[in-house]
Amino acid sequence: MNIFEEYIKKITQLIEKNKNLLQLNELKNFQGVTVELPPTYFNFDLSCNIALILGKRNGVNPKDLAEKMKKLINEELKDFKEVEVAGPGFINLRFSQGSIVNIINKILKNKRDYGKRISNNKYNIEFVSANPTGPMHVGHCRGAIYGDVLANLLKFNGNKVIKEYYINDYGSQIKNFVKSVFLRIRELKYKEKFKPEKDLYPGDYIIEISKKIIYSNKGLKFENFEESFNLLKDESLKHSMNLIKSDLKKLGIAHDHFFSETKLVEKKLVDKAVDYLKDKNYVIEGYLDPPKGEISKEWKQTKRLIFKSTLFGDDTDRAIKKDDGSWTYFANDLGYHMDKVERKFERLINVLGADHTGYIKRLKAAVGALSENKVKLDCKVCQLVKLFKNGKPFKMSKRAGEFISAQDLLNEVNKDSIRFMMLNRSNDVELDFDFDKVLEKSKDNPVFYVQYCFARISSLFRIIKKDLNEEFFLNENEFSLNENETKILRKIFEWPKIIEIASSKYEPHRIPYYLFDLATLFHSYWSKGNEDHSLKFINNGKIKNKETLTIIVLTAVVIQRGMDILGVSLPDKM
């Protein structure tokens, strides 16, 4: 149930029916009309801007129009006990007692689905896709958690979601990774000292992978790198991906599908995509414009295969073959995304690292061309994570072997804290992750504060010997809320709107923000009971009244739904 959607529908239908009476000629499908929570100082449940929007659109005074609408609402909608015109023409509405009871009972009847925004799309969310050259580092964790929680959010709304990992197991970085393993094997078997070179991977995890390969291939001598390459590549990638999957599992993440770039090349999916685009005249042989700025003496115009990505919103057309005739990295993207299109996904979401921002327009152009604009691709960039401990920054470098791994992070703080805090800011801004604050048991640690709210509610139910999951219903005669309960209830009414915005904008960070605000209201009410005996929830082992019990139940319901989506546990004791 979403009261904002319900009442925008009721109000617009009322205005549509009475548009002649109101002397309105231009409605434009009520575009821009909203129903929101008003600022708390108004002490109303809803606020609608319809008089402002239609007043401007029809050249009439919004405040005068709002007064006429107020009269109509009072006469024909019996859901409100007070209607007020505020400011330049906002219409504020306060529910009648019967309406509030009715809304609460509807929520309680379908509490497991409260906030759900019914949808039935087929999504592919590609996230993490870290190069399989070692364990995950902290920089990957943010995108991993963002992608996983976004998938949970879309599934909550009824969508089918495939969580996909693109294994970048082809190219020069893989050859360097395998060579690093080979040299470590030579060091372990034949005492040949490992000499770090520019593009090699010197981390200790390479030694562990090498030991496992030696143990499972005892008969092999590994004398020649080229002759050993294929076996070493398979074995090295297997162990590296096991490290990554293990890290993901500890973070509560499991992908549905792993897509290998090597398999993409072997199956000639790039050729297939290029042939398709040639038939559409979106790929041609031609010349690219010279690079912007000063042209170097080495640059020369070369005829090559070009994807006409500017036809689909890109800034420039893109070469899909290098000077040596091999495919560009982007050409492989064409093959991969054609495969996604052919798998009949309606929506594609790619979660990218901060260094991939420049790829977004060409990727969107590729999907537009490959699907004739029938499939929509959204790219969400997760900015960098800055780690702090004891007031000092941590730095990472995967090639130098000095990076902070996901396992290092998990050794310091638990999965719940990592998942919650990685979403504590919007994905498009940098995130400061302070180990010390995440370990605090205070309001400064949001995940603790929300979990503690649920633990307190659980303790109340143990005291009154009731099950939080049993059915609760109100009747109008027993209904009366104090100021604190009204604030909490209005926040609970906002939950479906949070789900709506978080889902439509792919902004799951709105959920931890909201849960923290709700927990803050509950803790504040709890604390007031220590100062004012009349505000205590329990007297002589019994709950004060059924209305208070219901508000507590609703708070628990929303926290459970929110933390389920975040993949964060809710202990009943802390």
Task: Map 482-514 to HEC letters.
Answer: CHHHHHHHHHHHCHHHHHHHHHHCCCCCHHHHH
For residue range 117-167, list pLDDT tens digits in order: 888 999 999 999 888 998 888 878 999 999 999 999 999 999 999 999 999
- CA separation, residue 418 to residues 241, 252, 410, 461, 569 (Å): 21, 10, 8, 29, 12
The H or E element containing residue 93 is strand 90-95
Q: What is the DSSP letter of 137?
A: B
User: Is the pLDDT at 212 greater than 50, yes or no?
Assistant: yes
Biggest alpha carbon distance in the chain?
Answer: 94
In a domain, 77, yes or no: yes
User: Is the pLDDT at 3 greater than 50, yes or no?
Assistant: yes
The H or E element containing residue 260 is strand 257-260
Indicate the number of domains in the chain: 3
pTM beyond 0.75: the answer is: yes
What is the spatial distance between Cα 477 and Cα 429, in angstroms, rounded to a whole number? 50
Concatenating the DSSP letter of every residue in 390-401 gives TTEEE---TTTT
In a domain, 305, yes or no: no
User: Is the pLDDT at 234 greater than 90, yes or no?
Assistant: yes
What is the CATH number for 560? Answer: 1.10.730.10
pLDDT at 466: 87
Q: How many C-beta neighbours within 10 Å does residue 219 have?
A: 4
What is the spatial distance between Cα 567 and Cα 563, in angstroms, rounded to a whole number? 6
**3-state class (DSSP) for residue 117:** coil
The separation between CA 421 and the C-alpha centre of its own chain, rounded to angstroms, equals: 13
* CB contact at 8 A, 455 and 574: yes
In a domain, 438, yes or no: no
Q: Which of 95, 122, 137 is the last residue of a domain?
A: 95
Tell me, yes or no, whether 450 and 536 share the same domain.
yes
In a domain, 415, yes or no: no
The amino acid sitting at 338 is: M
In a domain, 342, yes or no: no
What is the spatial distance between Cα 191 and Cα 200, in angstroms, rounded to a whole number? 18
What is the CATH number for 32? Answer: 3.30.1360.70
Tell me, yes or no, whether 551 and 456 share the same domain.
yes
User: Is the pLDDT at 397 greater than 60, yes or no?
Assistant: no
User: Is the pLDDT at 27 greater than 50, yes or no?
Assistant: yes
pLDDT at 63: 95
Residue 469, φ and ψ in degrees, nearest 5 = -90, 0
In a domain, 209, yes or no: yes
Q: Which domain holds residue 8?
A: 3-95
What is the spatial distance between Cα 333 and Cα 345, in angstroms, rounded to a whole number? 16
What is the spatial distance between Cα 64 and Cα 22, in angstroms, rounded to a whole number? 10
- Structural tokens at position 156: 């909550």
pLDDT at 324: 81
**3-state class (DSSP) for residue 411:** helix
Q: What is the DSSP letter of 537?
A: S
Q: In terms of C-beta density within 10 A (0-12 exposed, 13-18 middle, 19 or more buried), how is residue 481 classed?
A: middle
Residue 292, φ and ψ in degrees, nearest 5 = -70, 150
Tell me, yes or no, whether 552 and 461 share the same domain.
yes
Mean pLDDT of 365-373: 96
Mean pLDDT of 528-556: 86
In a domain, 270, yes or no: no
Q: Which of 250, 270, 301 is the last residue of a domain?
A: 250
For residue range 272-321, list pLDDT tens digits in order: 999 999 999 999 988 777 666 656 666 667 788 999 999 999 999 999 98
User: Is the pLDDT at 378 greater than 70, yes or no?
Assistant: yes
What is the spatial distance between Cα 540 and Cα 538, in angstroms, rounded to a whole number? 7
Residue-averaged pLDDT of the chain: 90
Tell me, yes or no, whether 88 and 179 share the same domain.
no
In a domain, 136, yes or no: no
User: Is the pLDDT at 398 greater than 50, yes or no?
Assistant: no
Tell me, yes or no, whether 85 and 188 share the same domain.
no
Looking at the chain, how many residues does it have? Answer: 574
- CA separation, residue 248 to residues 445, 452, 518 (Å): 23, 26, 30
For residue range 450-504, list pLDDT tens digits in order: 999 999 999 999 998 888 888 888 877 777 889 999 999 999 999 999 999 999 9
Q: Which of 95, 114, 147 is the last residue of a domain?
A: 95
Mean pLDDT of 18-32: 91
- Structural tokens at position 142: 């943010």
Q: Find which of 151-165, 168-182, 208-222 is predicted with most confidence, using mean pLDDT.
A: 151-165
- CA separation, residue 312 to residues 179, 316, 367, 373, 379 (Å): 40, 10, 9, 9, 15
Mean pLDDT of 328-346: 95
User: Is the pLDDT at 401 greater than 70, yes or no?
Assistant: no
pLDDT at 399: 40
More confident residue, 229 or 405: 229
Q: HSE-up of 250 (CA within 13 Å, CB side)? A: 19
Q: Find which of 27-36, 386-395, 427-436 is predicted with most confidence, using mean pLDDT.
A: 27-36
Tell me, yes or no, whether 460 and 558 share the same domain.
yes
**What does the H/E/C string look like for 24-71?**
CCCCHHHCCCCEECCCHHHCCCEEECHHHHHHHHHCCCHHHHHHHHHH
